[in-house]
Chains A and B, each alone.
Chain A
Amino acid sequence: MEVAESTAGGKKNPLDDCKILVVDDEADFLDTLIKRLRRRRVDVRSAASAQEALAVLESDPVDVVVLDVRMPQMDGIRLLEIIKQRHAPIEVIMLTGHASLEAAVKGMDLGAFDYLMKPVDLDELIYKMQDAYRKRLLQKGRMRHIASSREGT
């Protein structure tokens, strides 16, 4: 049984305020994953194609994208490239149902935060999201500090 993570006792959920986008053309997998993540109180939205994902990112900036490497029309590697060009600070976790050495290393080379393989353990995915989000927050904090230092001078 899925149990929602408790935020009682004042302990902050590491994914509080984190917006996630999952991109996968496999409808069954996507639906199940979104439901399970929401049950864990993750703020998640979904896209069934690379084009849809890019549209979401334009209107609703997110912190972390989880995307499938293999998708028809535009594959995940190309989508990763575009995300890194247009929305560089977003962290991207690659997910694949088919192990490919080249795609894994290429994805990492293009700046993917990590590379996971299906079937993915939900806890492992959430930990990766937490780590990626933490990295993003730290970057945000430093950027803000640099900006405010400049304003002060």
Chain B
Amino acid sequence: MPSFRDTLRRWFRRPVPPAAAQDVEALRLAFQARYHQFKLLLGANNKALEIMSEIQEALGGQAPFGMTFVRSRCTRLLATVFAIVRYLDELAPGAYSGLFDSFRQIEAEINRHVSASEPSWQGPLVLPLADVRPEHADLVGAKMANLADLAGRLGAPLPEGFVVTAAGFACFMAYSDLQTEINRRLQATDVRRLDHLYALSADLQQLIIRAEVPGELQAAVAAALDRLPAEGGRAPRLAVRSSALGEDAAGTSFAGQYRSQLNVAPEHLMQAYKEVVASKYGVAAMRYRLARGLRDEDVAMCVGCMPMIDAVAGGVIYTRNPLAPDRDEILIHSAWGLPKSVVDGGVTADLFVARRNPAPGLVAQQIGHKEIRFACHPDEGLSRLETDPADRGRPSLTLPQVNHLARLAAAAEADQGGPRDLEWALDHQGRIHLLQCRPLQLHPPAVDPSADLLPVTAPLLLRGGRTASPGAGAGPVFVLRRDADALAFPAGAVLVAAQALPRWASLLDRAAAVVTEQGSIAGHLASVAREFGVPALMGVEGAVAALTEAGTVTVDATATAVYGGRVASLLAAKPRAANPMAGSPVYETLRQASEYIVPLNLLDPDSPSFRPRNCRTLHDITRFCHEKAVHEMFSFGKHHHFPERSSKQLFTDIPMQWWVLDLDDGLARQSPGPYAQLEDVVSIPMLALWEGITAFPWEGPPPVDGRGLMSVMFQATANRALEPTVRSSMANRNYFMISRHYCSLQSRLGFHFCSVEALVGDRPGENYATFRFKGGAADADRRVQRVVFVGEILEDHGFSVSIREDALAARIEHEKPEEMRKALKILGYLIIHTRQLDMVMTCCDTVARYRHKIQDQIRQLVGEAPPPAA
């Protein structure tokens, strides 16, 4: 295939025979159609580059993204790149047909990563807990699988009941196309905006709660319900708990993101089931999945249904201290009534610290002030009751009960091979029941708390509470009182609330620190705070009143203190949170797909390997198509003997040859002669470039020192292409390809080659200018220094710049026409005035002088005021 330069060479050597007059109208129409295709190709090319940079930004940045982002970007990109291939095929039918094959191969690879991995769940719709084995984790969720397995082996009463499995969930979601509708709504919402997320969450949950449960699933649940033993002459009330797949994936706790329905009457079980399923789309759960890169489609909501235990006391055991895992400590959190008040952070629970060795037993205790408790309502649901004043400060467990729980905890950890988080309940008969069992995430502080720190001189606002998540954070105080307050929560604020409610977890990825009056290390909010590395202090009495008007504060959660203002010495010690997306399923999907999208392998259009079959990524295809489209537009007028659309020499007094090819409406008048007049040019981008080119006369080559001159002489001898006396198709000729809103300039000035392409129209979203610059006569070092020099100037004026060896590529886009014109004037100016600057690039003083002069002239050119004197 001839290279672009070869084509130009042939074009300018061959004389143009006169066109047959009767064909001119047909050619004009054909040319217009081609130019429209070309414009569409440029637009699609721009769109493709934009999507690619979004993908790169997502992979390199800290902002979370979900599978909707991955799928929508890959889909848009594939459709756009396919359109580019088709536009090129219409410009040159069949000439690059190999591109379609390359595209298909790349598409298949991207598809393999993005589409083909949706899970399918097979098995019974309902499974009795007694039949659940550890290998059923993918069918019933890890939580239920662990629970059934563990209770049996530790001698705790084996929970009765059953699980509506992942297959049951799939059956429900497939019925009446519920999942399709959910996916559609997910795609239509920017889930990174909290207000949109709240609305979407409410919508999706309503959609699920109102959806019909398929008959086969209802029948399976009814049959399982019938097998449960009656209690006191009536069917048992049920605890309906989430046990989602992916809930306990490595490194994620998912603590409390889903709903449980407690003390549910059997006749309302299906409704409760739907509510637990709907909680998959709770705000906190969706935000959590987004932040951790978990795929929505991987989360099947299995639901455990077990007879309700009306507890005297209940709580949570951590088989290790998550903040100090090396210590021999088992932490038992306990409160009166159901364990809900502990896990929801509604009370400051009793904390019993037990040891493992030599035998499990109590070593220390902090008794909380337990004002409230939850109990089963006689009919259905829970009652929130005031605790009898005499009981509030009384331990909720006896010593033998503590020791029993400690033994259970030590055995659970040994059995499961790692630290565990156990939810338990003590019934009226004094039996202990395990309700949940999941891996415990450990978060040892990165900073040694015993290390000597400088005394803090900032005013101490509060002291007390318990470290729920270590570290220090600072920001303005934001007090949360109602749900609606969450919408206004600013990024970087300190979250202050009376209760440590699980729903505040949706704000943790933007909170600097957390302070609550109630709650403990064992609550859901505390778990998520540790996971996200957000310092959290809980159980701080009077925090809301003391901090409401405090402005900016520093929370030292490790030392349980809150100071006024920002205390830099504490913040410096804050461990840096890792990117929670890295390595996640969503991140990996995009990373793998991006290998067929982003890398650019086809760099040199003149290389023999610049061919369709060597396109290995979508970026290669766009690069190839763009290059060839420009080439095809150039060659049309020539090949079709269409002098009106052949290039004309620009009539100008600038001592260089400038040629113009009018693509559509770039010249006000069409004439068949060999010259174009500058006053006929109406191309907005070309005129702006021209203004920059001609604004200041070029003072000629800079004075060169001996080294510079030797270098140029050596290069000129070694590289015949740089020898001005050698006949070259490109030497000293510069080509504009124009329409009213478009301009492409290929320019060879001196020993460097540069190109500008720009679109400046009424659609700011489509406007862009690109600038490529390469070469020079000096040695490689100086050429590199020159592109760095030019790159810095362009960056100062809003261009994004990339440099590889002595090649520079710069781009500016989406600006209004006036800004685009300024940018093009700057490019025009630089094309002329950086000529031969490579030769002075070793002399700092000269470089500084040129920089100053160039900056000064650019400011005059674009009408900017000089910077204030230092």
Contact = CB atoms under 8 A, between A and B. Distances in A.
B110 interface: yes
B545 to A, nearest CB: 44
Nearest to B67: A99
A135 interface: yes
B87 to A, nearest CB: 10
A101 B78 contact: yes
A30 to B, nearest CB: 14
Interface string A69-112: 01000000000000000000000000001111110110111000
B3 to A, nearest CB: 29
| Interface SS, A side | helix
Contact of B79 (A114, A119, A134): A114
B83 interface: yes
Interface stretch (B30-38, B359-367, B579-587, B821-829): B30-38
B5 interface: no
Contact of B75 (A99, A114, A149): A99
B29 A108 contact: no
Interface residues of B, number: 35
Nearest to A134: B36
B29 A138 contact: yes
B26 interface: yes
A107 B33 CA distance: 22
Contact of B72 (A117, A145, A149): A117
Contact of B29 (A70, A127, A142): A142
B107 A101 contact: yes
Contact of B26 (A102, A109, A149): A149
Interface stretch (B180-188, B311-319, B462-470): B180-188
A7 interface: no
Interface string A126-142: 01000100110011011
A45 to B, nearest CB: 24
Given A102-B115, A127-B763, A135-B36, A119 B107 contact: no
Contacts of B40: 131, 135
Given A98-B187, A134-B36, A135-B36, A142 B30 contact: yes
A107 B79 CA distance: 9
Interface string B23-51: 00110011011001100100100000000
Interface in B774-795: none
Contacts of B37: 135
A33 to B, nearest CB: 13
A61 B150 CA distance: 70
Interface string B111-138: 1001100000000000000000000000
Interface residues of A, number: 30
A145 B187 contact: no
B29 A105 contact: no
B86 interface: yes
B76 interface: yes
Contacts of B765: 123-124
B78 A104 contact: yes
A98 B763 CA distance: 27
A101 B33 contact: no
A145 B25 contact: yes
B71 A142 contact: no
Nearest to A94: B79
Contacts of B26: 142, 145-146, 149
A35 interface: no
A149 B187 CA distance: 51
B86 A117 contact: no
A104 B110 CA distance: 13
Contacts of B187: 97-99, 117-118
B74 interface: yes
Contacts of A139: 33
A97 B115 CA distance: 16
B68 A101 contact: no
Nearest to B103: A105
Given A118-B187, A131-B40, A102 B79 contact: no
B188 A101 contact: no
Nearest to B183: A98
B29 A101 contact: no
A114 B40 CA distance: 11
A131 B38 CA distance: 12
B111 A98 contact: no
Contacts of A70: 180, 184
Interface in B62-104: 68, 71-72, 74-76, 78-79, 82-83, 86
A105 B82 contact: yes
A138 B32 contact: yes
A8 to B, nearest CB: 15
Interface string B567-589: 00000000000000000000000
Given A118-B187, A118-B188, A101 B82 contact: no
A102 B114 CA distance: 11
Interface string B157-201: 000000000000000000000001001100110000000000000
A117 B86 CA distance: 20
Contacts of A138: 29, 32-33, 36
Nearest to B86: A108
Contact of A100 (B75, B188, B763): B75
A84 to B, nearest CB: 14
Nearest to B115: A101
Contact of B107 (A99, A105, A142, A146): A105
Interface string B182-222: 01100110000000000000000000000000000000000
Q: Give 7 closest A-B pairs by Cβ, nearest first.
A: A115-B79, A99-B75, A97-B184, A104-B79, A99-B71, A138-B33, A99-B72
Given A97-B184, A131-B36, 16 more contacts: A97-B187, A98-B183, A99-B75, A100-B115, A101-B114, A101-B115, A105-B79, A105-B82, A108-B83, A115-B75, A115-B79, A117-B76, A123-B763, A123-B765, A124-B765, A138-B36
24 contacts: A97-B184, A97-B188, A98-B183, A99-B72, A99-B74, A101-B78, A101-B114, A104-B79, A104-B82, A105-B79, A108-B82, A114-B79, A115-B79, A117-B72, A117-B75, A118-B184, A118-B187, A118-B188, A123-B765, A124-B765, A135-B37, A135-B40, A138-B29, A141-B29
